[in-house]
Amino acid sequence: MQAATKSVVSEELRARFARAKNVVVLTGAGVSAESGVPTFRGAGKTAVWKGMPFDVISSGAKLDRDLPAVWEWFNYRRGVLRTLKPNPAHEAIARWQDRFERFTLVTQNVDGLHHAAGSRNVIELHGSVWRARCLTCNSRSDLRASEVVAGVPSCLDCGGVMRPDVVLFGEMLPRGVFEQAAMWAESCDLCFVVGTSAVVYPAAAIPEIARAAGAYVIEVNPERTPLSNICDETLMGKAGEILPLIECTVVIENSKD
């Protein structure tokens, strides 16, 4: 194992990046924080919305008791996110999808910034604040294209009430989404873990699965995490600086050949 500063891209990483065929990237809140996305969590049990902590207003139990209140909270969150833009980390990751034969992006984020940067076929482990899901027929609706900015949206297919298409506290991941991510992790050459504390499971298992299958695992984070000890390299710094740097150094090396 080795650690590298944010200004250093090792020869080993350059070589592996240049010849990789199958790459998996797992992203967390740290990537979006560089775009100004707030965590919305507060500190500990601090109230973040009308006297309620994050894990109360964003819980499955609260949704069952008071769906309009949950929608008021998520409508507010979308209003905050609406003006924010992808940063260089999102943009670099979007470029990578056309660089490798197989590229899989797995994110814990629900803000939609990867899509806004041009990423396709994103595996969203925790859903998206920009979608609603019908509680009756399970149909989904794109809220970016909707005129609904307040209240509880109705399903266009069956008329039923909808909920945010986000995994709330106390809920399981959507069926099959983790299994899909794990399948690609088992066959990748390189696995990047970017901007995540690596303590939330099952998402944190993705790099562990990749490592066990023989992949080279690179962590990009401002500080070390519980995952650092199993990574082949830890690049400490901002993802918006490091990911474009990795890409740039490989291009420079290739131009010398």
Whichever domain contains 185, its CATH number is 3.40.50.1220
Residue at 147 is within a domain: yes
Q: Which of 43-52, 88-97, 130-139, 238-247 has the lowest mean pLDDT?
A: 43-52
The pLDDT assigned to 148 comes to 62
Count of structural domains, the chain: 2
Strands 22-27 and 102-107: parallel
Q: What does the alpha-carbon distance between residue 93 and residue 95 come to, in Å, rounded to a whole number?
A: 5
Long-range contacts of 147-151 (CB under 8 A, 24+ apart): 149/75, 149/78, 149/79, 150/72, 150/75, 151/68, 151/71, 151/75
Residue at 236 is within a domain: yes
Shared domain for 116 and 227, answered yes or no, is: yes
| Percent of the chain surpassing pLDDT 90 | 78
Residue at 42 is within a domain: no
Shared domain for 198 and 225, answered yes or no, is: yes
Average pLDDT over residues 80-85: 93
Q: Which of 34-43, 117-126, 182-191, 205-214 has the lowest mean pLDDT?
A: 34-43
Shared domain for 122 and 225, answered yes or no, is: yes
Shared domain for 244 and 154, answered yes or no, is: no
Residue at 201 is within a domain: yes
Strands 52-53 and 102-107: unpaired
Kindly report the average pLDDT of the chain as a whole number. 90
Shared domain for 96 and 31, answered yes or no, is: yes
pLDDT(243) > 70? yes
- Specify the DSSP class assigned to residue 170: T
Shared domain for 70 and 91, answered yes or no, is: no
Query: Which residues span the domain enclosing 193?
Result: 2-37+86-126+172-256
Containing H/E element for 115? helix 113-117
pLDDT tens readout for residues 144-190: 877 666 789 999 999 999 999 999 999 999 999 999 999 999 999 99
Shared domain for 74 and 96, answered yes or no, is: no
Shared domain for 107 and 234, answered yes or no, is: yes
The pLDDT assigned to 198 comes to 77
Residue 126 known to be catalytic: yes
Give the rounded distance of the alpha carbon of 45 from its chain centre: 24
Task: Look up the pTM and report it.
Answer: 0.91
Shared domain for 211 and 249, answered yes or no, is: yes
Last residue of a domain, one of 114, 142, 166: 166
Q: Which of 20-29, 105-114, 120-129, 241-250 has the lowest mean pLDDT?
A: 241-250
Average pLDDT over residues 210-232: 94
The pLDDT assigned to 197 comes to 81
Shared domain for 93 and 182, answered yes or no, is: yes
Shared domain for 184 and 222, answered yes or no, is: yes
Shared domain for 75 and 181, answered yes or no, is: no
